[in-house]
Amino acid sequence: MEFKREIVETLKKWKDAADRKPVLLRGARQTGKTWAMEAFGKECFDHYVKFDFDRTPELKSVFKDTKDPDRLVRGLSLYSDVPIIPGRTLMVFDEIQECEEALNSLKYFYEEAPEYHIVAAGSLLGVAVKRKNMAVPVGKVKTLKMFPLTFKEFLAASDDRTYRFVENLDSLGHLPEIIINKLVLEYKRYSVCGGMPAAAAKLIDNQGMAAVDDELRGILDMYELDFSKYAEPLQVSRINALWHSLPSQLSKENRKFIYKVIRTGARAKDYEDALTWLEDAGLIYRIFNVSKPGMPLSAYSDFDAFKVYASDCGLLRRLANIPSEVILDGNSGYTEFKGAMAENMVLQALVSILDGDVPYYWSSGNTAEVEFVTQLGAEIIPMEVKAESRVSGRSLSEYTKKFDPRYRIRYSFQNLQYNGGLLSCPSPLACWTKKLMEMVSA
């Protein structure tokens, strides 16, 4: 099973851009960065060559003695079975964090040899750059973010007819019941496997839940090995403890991150570096509280009050050891975590359409809370998330009375409709939020 990844379309636009810079592709491990670069290279170029600085460490010698792009290309040609021709060959620098000189060379390719197409990526690139104090050629590269497979990409592979129906939506009226039912079914399946392409492929190919869970378990095990490999020794146990506390943090009613959930006596100063490490690795999103919906939202944020979500719902489910049938069939003991999963899945969609920007949340003491607040265009929009079809609650109403927003969004399993500034959006359509809001404001 191969997925159509939207990052490939982004790379196609980059290929023909007038002021093209080398691409630095960032993202968590196992999200499909290498696959996307290869698919792009094979589809859009006559030749594709990958230079892997981890598997072929001798490549580093090419960059030790020169910064001249022509000399670098001549040296790299010795390790390539295909010709390196400007405009016709895509060069991929994989695991670039293993060679700081290669990372720095991107600056000189941009300034002196922009005719070459170069895409660079690496495992835990953000973590490695900080740990090794590496200099990133800011302003000389185009940074793109790779996210886990979105539900939109999953749906295109699992149910193409339903995907095309949603893609062609041109009004905000109720969807046919058969479409809603199909969307909810596929959304629940997606919540089980998540956005790790290897796990999603096993689900769509009907290989069974044991195979899906084994794949997810293997990725989680790999992440824990990364903690030991890439983190400072003092931080390893703290990163591990914080990571494993996520299900407990999200099982609480208000989801606010509490350090003592990690262990008794835990303090913020002891775990701040661990939180930052997991953020840099692309494994978590930290959502800060805002006191009011002003611009910029960051000016009104409380950096001591935040929630932490996983970057992928499938990994979160597996980390929490929740069987797939509990999600697919429902279970009375799953109430609190059901809400957390609903929020995590909507957040994944929002981050992907906001190009990696993370929303905020709003609360009024212990009386009301709106899950997400973000800026779309010139509007700051509150976004309420409800698990399945029950939409009772007064938090969004209290926010509306207090701030009188022009638009609000409520995500649930109820049908699509727009009324009086409130967009009732089926949660599976969260990836299409921008398109739906364009219809609202048209």
Q: For the chain, which domains are there?
A: 6-146 (3.40.50.300), 151-441 (no CATH)
Instruction: Give the pLDDT confidence score for residue 8 in this predicted structure.
Output: 96
d(CA 357, CA 235): 26
| Conformational region of residue 330, where left means phi above 0, alpha means psi within -120 to 50, and beta covers everything else | left
**How large a percentage of the chain has pLDDT more than 70?**
99
Residue-wise pLDDT for 32-74, tens only, equals 999 999 999 999 999 999 999 999 999 999 999 899 999 999 9
Decide if 274 contacts 238 (C-beta within 8 A).
yes
Instruction: Give the pLDDT confidence score for residue 397 in this predicted structure.
Output: 94
Residue-wise pLDDT for 225-258, tens only, equals 999 988 999 999 999 999 999 999 999 888 999 9
Instruction: Give the pLDDT confidence score for residue 312 in this predicted structure.
Output: 98
Residue-wise pLDDT for 323-337, tens only, equals 998 888 766 667 778
**Within 16-53, where are the H helices?**
33-44
Distance of alpha carbon 72 from the chain centroid: 34
Instruction: Give the pLDDT confidence score for residue 365 in this predicted structure.
Output: 80
pLDDT band at 20 (very low <50, low <70, confident <90, very high): very high
Instruction: Give the pLDDT confidence score for residue 328 in this predicted structure.
Output: 81
pLDDT averaged over every residue in the chain: 94
pLDDT band at 442 (very low <50, low <70, confident <90, very high): confident
Element (H, E) at 412: strand 408-412
Decide if 191 contacts 317 (C-beta within 8 A).
yes
Residue-wise pLDDT for 328-375, tens only, equals 876 666 777 899 999 999 999 999 999 889 999 999 887 899 999 999
Strand order across the 89-94 sheet: 47-52, 89-94, 117-121, 23-27, 142-146
Compute φ and ψ for 65, nearest 5 degrees. Answer: -105, -5
Instruction: Give the pLDDT confidence score for residue 65 in this predicted structure.
Output: 87
- Using DSSP's 3-state secondary structure scheme, residue 121 falls into strand
